[in-house]
Amino acid sequence: MSNPNSTFPDCQVYKRVGVIGGGQLAWMLGLAARDLGIELIVQTPSATDSAVSVARDVIYAPIDDLAATQALSQRVDVITFENEFVDLVGLEKLADAGVCFRPSLSSLAPLLDKLEQRQFLESLGLAIPKFVGADHVATLTEVSKTFAFPVVVKARRHGYDGQGTFVIKDVGAWDSFWQDRPDFNSFLIEAFVPFRCELGLMAARSVSGEVAFHPLVETQQEDQVCRRVIAPGPVSSEITSQAQAMAQTLLEALDFVGILGIEFFLTADNQLLINEIAPRTHNSGHYTIEACHTSQFAQHLLAITGRGLGNPDLQSPAGVMINLLGFETATSDYGEKRQTLSQIPQATVHWYGKTQAYPGRKLGHVTVLLHNQEPETITKTLSQIESIWYS
């Protein structure tokens, strides 16, 4: 039956969404679902997981528990993913039995393994850093022929927040790295890119093939973990158009439905290289909740439930997002610091409700809307937030 809310006559508009995963991304998806009148059920292992507080219901199970996903599928119209730790082979059986996954399993397939993702991007002619599977250059002599140090070694699967990414500076570091890791096959090696800055783009595609891009932003990483995002990024309209064209090629080649995050390196000679694709909502898009007409979370829900996409543009001249990363091992809700942060004009503090802090753990984030894009305004705001949080 055709639906008047749909941009696509034969497209069913869904109201019940299942999410595999219950961390902070699912939590923010749940908040957006409430606003859109969408019912959200999560599959997640623990009652302390962030999304439990906003979900309509919870199936308590590990995210790779297929029986639990099958039970989830019976209560929702469409299932989506919080992260890329997806058991494609297992889920294929459910898809064959008619379960609707968005994005589809076939559009996720080339993206879940970092080496296969690089090969896929290369096959589309999209610019990426020089790379090779580690098993192809297992010896130092071979690697020295192909790359100059430093090189970057990455775990092909299950890396996140830089956990599986290692910058190897020289021969000595190369030797000691492999000493406790004999399994070359599960890594890839790539050239270290001396980038001018890193950029992020959230790109969405609907069931009918409509695409929309949030602003291209600058992302700042420390120790391979995202610390700050600045919207819009300090780049020309040509660079923005190039990034959008790359995103469009990718979305269409994958027949992707939903939102995905693209991380880029911008080199000194203005070359855009794709570092990574995250086929889901992403930390670099958190600023969209306050700064854009449609947040990345609402956009993803609109796309996967078969609706038309929302307006992704900024509704403020600029905005910054600062991650509140754990700086100690402690059990604390940091109530006083959060209170101080929330008093900054135009600031919104998001707290993920995690009970245990440890260094580097993402505990929350703050978004501040700005009246202008002046570098001094941005720097002042970033250092104000960080000096409160890390003091």
Q: Nearer Cβ to ligand ADP, position 126 or 370?
A: 126
Q: Nearer Cβ to ligand ADP, position 187 or 334?
A: 187
State the nearest-atom distance from the C-beta of 276 to ligand ADP, in Å. Answer: 4
- Which residues are within 8 A (CB) of 228 and not within 5 positions of it... i.e. 6 or more apart? 219, 220, 320, 321, 322, 323, 382
State the nearest-atom distance from the C-beta of 340 to ligand ADP, in Å. Answer: 29
- Please, how many CA atoms are within 13 Å of residue 46, restricted to the half-sphere of its CB? 7
Q: Nearer Cβ to ligand ADP, position 307 or 362?
A: 362
Q: Nearer Cβ to ligand ADP, position 68 or 111?
A: 111
Interface residue list for ligand ADP (CB under 6 A): 129, 152, 154, 159-165, 190, 192-193, 198, 221, 224, 263, 275-276
Structure-block tokens of residue 307: 């609706």
State the nearest-atom distance from the C-beta of 57 to ligand ADP, in Å. Answer: 31
CA distances from 102 to 6, 279, 302, 386 (A): 16, 10, 11, 37
Q: Nearer Cβ to ligand ADP, position 138 or 193?
A: 193
State the nearest-atom distance from the C-beta of 81 to ligand ADP, in Å. Answer: 16
Judge whether 188 and 133 are in contact, CB under 8 Å.
Answer: yes
For residue 290, the tally of other CB atoms under 10 A from its CB is 18
Q: Nearer Cβ to ligand ADP, position 63 or 266?
A: 266
State the nearest-atom distance from the C-beta of 155 to ligand ADP, in Å. Answer: 9
Q: What is the DSSP code string of 278-344?
A: ESS--GGGTTHHHHBSS-HHHHHHHHHTT-PPPP-SBSSSEEEEEEEE--SSB----HHHHHHHHTS
Pairing assessment for the beta strands 347-351 and 362-370 based on DSSP bridges: antiparallel
State the nearest-atom distance from the C-beta of 85 to ligand ADP, in Å. Answer: 12
Distance of alpha carbon 336 from the chain centroid: 29
Q: Nearer Cβ to ligand ADP, position 193 or 211?
A: 193
State the nearest-atom distance from the C-beta of 63 to ligand ADP, in Å. Answer: 18
Give the H or E element holding residue 16: strand 16-20
In the block, tokens 């992403």 appear at: 282
